Amino acid sequence: MAPEREREARSTETAKEQVMEEEIKASGHHPADTNGDGKVSKEEEKMYLEFKRKELEDADAMRDAQRNMTWFALGGLLLYPFAVVVASLVGLDEAQKTLGSMAPTYFVAVAGIVAAFFGAQAMGKK
């Protein structure tokens, strides 16, 4: 079990180093160097890594929320016609008319939400 943990620790350290090297090349200085002395202390590195971890968690939570919203919208899109039929069967003629007149706007709005989600997913993969 110890060799496996050792390999994992080395892999994590290598990944951290690669990310930091890429950011140094992109910005010209180390992003974890908050006091500008040209050196990254353990405390600065710890704060930087915590910030990056939070950033990843926030992005993950946002994707989850968008995915849930899209599935909810798709569910509503599929259930809306059934609401019109049920209103008709129950004899709620006014409700049927109202639901029927709202349908074009509702379908366009929901299709926009779904299209925006899938479009953003496609653009993010490029």
Instruction: Name the residue with tokens 């016609």.
Output: 81
pLDDT of 103: 82
Q: What is the pLDDT of residues 7-60, one digit of tens each?
A: 666 666 676 667 666 766 666 667 776 766 677 778 878 888 888 899 899 989
Cα–Cα distance between 10 and 31 in angstroms, integer? 22
Amino acid at 54: K
Q: What is the pLDDT of residues 68-114, one digit of tens each?
A: 888 888 888 888 888 888 888 888 878 878 887 888 888 888 888 88
Cα–Cα distance between 30 and 45 in angstroms, integer? 10
